[in-house]
Amino acid sequence: MGTAETKAEIIRTATMLFNEHGTRAVSTNHIAEKMGVSPGRIYYHFRNKEDIIREIYRQIIYFFNPVRKLPRDRTVNINDLRRLCGVLFTYMWEYRFFLREAVPLMQRDPQLRKRLHDVRRRRLVQIRYFLQGLIKSGVMQEPEEEGTLDELATISWLITNAWPNFLMVDEKSLCRENVQKGVELVLRVLKPYLTEQAWVELSTPYDYPDPVRKVS
């Protein structure tokens, strides 16, 4: 196994163990044991467990950056919103330990805390921009009250981040049906601002993917 492959396997194994047992219960020795390698192989790539967690978060950000971009060759439609939410739910489930432990993780790691704050600010701007795209394409009405769009962006962000945790508390997994339920919660928030065009688009069934968990 080459250097890049070993590093990727460390991340995959660590994520699987973190999802299953939590970050506090998993050490670099546990990761090495699960991989069947010496602890030195882990330290060759990462200084400590916190370094591994930062790299996992970097990969999450790297994935989400292009996913949230608006299409350049056409206007935004309601299926773009359904697709985006479905992808977000599915991918966040792959790294559900991060959603479950976000607060204690950033309390233990000031470097990670700063990164989380910066990313959240950017994500809220991106969500607002996406909603503005829906308005421009006639899918949403422009809210009359100032600040409403920012509030809708915040609520949508909260739902997409909280829904996987909600499922975990009930000891449920993320399946096709639960992806759809989560997306419907986001649509429920936007319902008062959806136009007739949006309801026509929503009348067409959307084929939500059945999540395939790569890391667990």
Would you state the pLDDT for residue 214?
Answer: 47
Query: pLDDT tens for residues 121-130?
Result: 988 998 999 9
Q: Does domain 53-202 have CATH number 1.10.357.10?
A: yes
Q: What is the largest CA-CA distance in the chain?
A: 61
- pTM of the predicted model, to two decimals? 0.85
Instruction: Say what the alpha-carbon torsion angle 69, 75, 80, 84 is, to the nearest 10 degrees.
Output: 10
Whether residue 95 is predicted with pLDDT greater than 80 in this model: the reply is: yes
**Residue that has been written with the tokens 């994520």 in this structure:** 15
Whether residue 143 is predicted with pLDDT greater than 70 in this model: the reply is: yes
CATH topology of domain 1-46: Arc Repressor Mutant, subunit A (1.10.10)
Share of the chain above pLDDT 70, in %: 95
Query: For the chain, which residues make up each domain, given as ranges?
Result: 1-46, 53-202
Would you state the pLDDT for residue 71?
Answer: 77
Would you state the pLDDT for residue 34?
Answer: 97
Half-sphere exposure of 9 (CA within 13 A, CB side): 15
Would you state the pLDDT for residue 173?
Answer: 86
| CA separation, residue 74 to residues 70, 103, 174, 178, 201 (Å) | 9, 39, 31, 29, 16
Would you state the pLDDT for residue 212?
Answer: 57
Look at the chain and count its residues: 216
Residue 3: pLDDT band (50, 70, 90) is: confident
